Amino acid sequence: MTDRLYFRQLLSGRDFAVGDPVGTQMVNFVYLVGDRETGEAVIIDPAYKVGDLLDLLAADDMRLTGALVTHYHADHVGGSAFGFEIEGIRELLAREDVPIHVNRAEAEWVRQATDVSASDLAQHDDADVVTVGRIPIQLLHTPGHTPGSQCFLVDNRLVAGDTLFLEGCGRMDLPGGDAGLMYDSLRRLAALPDATTVFPGHQYSPKASEDLEVVKRMNHVFRPSSAQQWKAMLGVG
């Protein structure tokens, strides 16, 4: 599968949406994943300048067949944030009629944040698989940052969204956040093979990706050995 896997990590403000002040400040990663032999591809968390993302796919002789969403926040799917309107899945659907794959628990949050129709959203459960060409992408429900946050496993790569960064994890104090569920989700990710490469939703550290073995050793979110220690570290009851 490695030979036919198409996988690109793109940084907002550098690789696309150049000059966009919000995209540059937020340092979001967007991922293009596909099958080189069939030319089919999906975008993970399209935001800021969807035209740039489609142009990059076209330049690589790939065609869009869908989008995958890690969670509902505007810097990942578009909508209103920080007094700005951010492009996202709504603008993508205006150009390409493709399914938007979301976790079932996140669907209504995504719909309200973006004003897309419920019929535009393909709702999934934990462990579902979305196939792009012949490339399988496994969906992992990892609530905590939001109710329906999900990560994606493809060919020993973990696209972790805002559930897990190389340093730290996503905030739990925003609407839908839950510290207890985040602890459970982080423990689940920690059980993946050590050779899994973590690809986060933002570049909040010098490196853009790292093996899970290293992340578990260096990231403070893996130090607590119980939910009680986790909550004590966070200072929550």
Within its chain, how far is the Cα of 138 from the centroid?
13
What's the predicted TM-score (pTM) here? 0.97
How confident is the model at residue 54, as a pLDDT?
A: 98
| CA dist., res. 39 & res. 58, Å (int) | 10
Over the stretch 87-126, which tens digit does the pLDDT of each residue have?
A: 999 999 999 999 999 999 999 999 999 999 999 999 999 9
The residue range of the domain holding 141 is 5-234
- How many structural domains does the chain have? 1
How confident is the model at residue 1, as a pLDDT?
A: 58
CATH code of 97's domain: 3.60.15.10
- The contacts of residue 20 (CB under 8 Å, 6+ apart) are 12, 13, 48, 49
Contact status, residue 137 vs residue 33, Cβ threshold 8 Å = yes
- 150-154, strands of its sheet edge to edge: 129-132, 135-141, 150-154, 157-161, 197-200, 210-211
Angle between helical axes of 227-234 and 179-190 (0-180°, round to 10): 120
Over the stretch 21-64, which tens digit does the pLDDT of each residue have?
A: 999 999 999 999 999 999 999 999 999 999 999 999 999 999 99
